[in-house]
Amino acid sequence: MQRREFLVVPAAIGGLAACSGAGVSHVPSPANSLGVKALVFDVFGTVVDWRGSIIREGEQWGREKNLEVDWGEFADRWRAGYGPSMDQVRKGQLPWMKLDDLHRRILDRLLEEFKITGLTEEEKRHWNRVWHRLRAWSDAVEGLTRLKKNYVVATLSNGNVSLLIEMAKFAGLPWDGVFGSDLFHRFKPDREVYLGAVDLLSLKPPEVMMVAAHPPDLNAAASCGLRTAFVPRPLEGGTAGTPPPPVTRNPTAAPPAAFDITATDFIELASQLS
């Protein structure tokens, strides 16, 4: 199967034919001065609350299994293994793997470190797929629904396509298309991911806007010629009443003023682009 054949995937979540080989010329002209026709979204942290979702499900699972675990720390450690694992793939230290498989490698180590024992293989697989069951931020569904009236809206995530489809079904995310790292066998911030999505949409880089809560992701997209929208998620690292984990600041990250648009949430983003 050719990679472009994966673009039939949006039909599985009620999407449009916007990502077919026919291009997106039928999309209404957007009422903005940037000439944007499609928006592609980072997902983990930008669209969904990965940390709060894992803590919530972990606490329930812990009660059922009588486990004494700091689920906030567990979630943070799981996420912390994400970047180094992708770097191992980039450097050839690991073969190409979908994010589901990288998550499982990290999980197996964490189960040992947190002394969680006695799980069946099916229980481990189910817990690894918690990343498929993440809850959306409260503004996400409404904001995306508004945006898709005038634009193609699609994921552009390091998650694999099957993960992103199941997440969309679980959280009710109204994507037109699903672009995951397994379409490109690359992970962001590699240029092939951003430019690959532009090509699959049959558009030019300035006609595509990357939306993310993470400045390094936006900086990488901008270096490829894409437009950028910064939507900060101040609770990504910890929900109200839960201390967030330490944050390593990126000294090269551009300030919000460097982006084409800055919005407090997806609803405001839709208003700015209307």
pTM of the model: 0.84
The verdict on 105 and 22 lying in the same domain is: no
Q: Tell me the residue range of the domain where 19 lies.
A: 3-49+137-272
The verdict on 59 and 101 lying in the same domain is: yes
**What is d(CA 76, CA 71) in angstroms, rounded to the nearest whole number?**
8
Closest CA to 159 of 183, 176, 139, 177: 183
**What is d(CA 35, CA 158) in angstroms, rounded to the nearest whole number?**
26
What's the CATH code of the domain at 81? 1.10.150.240
The verdict on 152 and 246 lying in the same domain is: yes
Closest CA to 229 of 128, 149, 156: 156
Final residue of a structural domain among 132, 155, 174: 132
The verdict on 144 and 215 lying in the same domain is: yes
**Residues 6+ positions from 16 with CB-CB distance below 8 Å:** 10, 152, 176
What pLDDT is stored for residue 28 in this prediction?
47
The verdict on 126 and 147 lying in the same domain is: no
The verdict on 253 and 166 lying in the same domain is: yes
The verdict on 239 and 188 lying in the same domain is: yes
Final residue of a structural domain among 132, 167, 193: 132
| Collapsed DSSP state (helix, strand, coil) of residue 228 | strand
Final residue of a structural domain among 132, 150, 176: 132
What pLDDT is stored for residue 4 in this prediction?
41
The verdict on 58 and 43 lying in the same domain is: no
What pLDDT is stored for residue 33 in this prediction?
81
What pLDDT is stored for residue 40 in this prediction?
98
| Helices and strands, counts by H and E, the chain | 10, 8
What's the CATH code of the domain at 159? 3.40.50.1000
Could you tell me if 212 and 46 are in contact, meaning their C-beta atoms sit under 8 angstroms apart?
yes
**Residues 6+ positions from 20 with CB-CB distance below 8 Å:** 7, 8
The verdict on 35 and 105 lying in the same domain is: no
Which residue type occupies 110? Answer: L
**pLDDT digit string, tens, across residues 51-109:** 999 999 999 988 988 889 999 999 999 999 999 999 999 999 999 999 999 999 999 99
Per residue of the chain (274 residues), give pLDDT as tens.
444 433 434 433 333 333 333 445 445 445 578 999 999 999 999 999 999 999 999 999 889 888 899 999 999 999 999 999 999 999 999 999 999 999 999 999 999 999 999 999 999 999 999 999 999 999 999 999 999 999 999 999 999 999 999 999 999 999 999 999 999 999 999 999 999 999 999 999 999 999 999 999 999 999 999 999 999 999 898 643 344 444 333 444 555 558 999 999 999 999 999 9
What pLDDT is stored for residue 192 in this prediction?
97
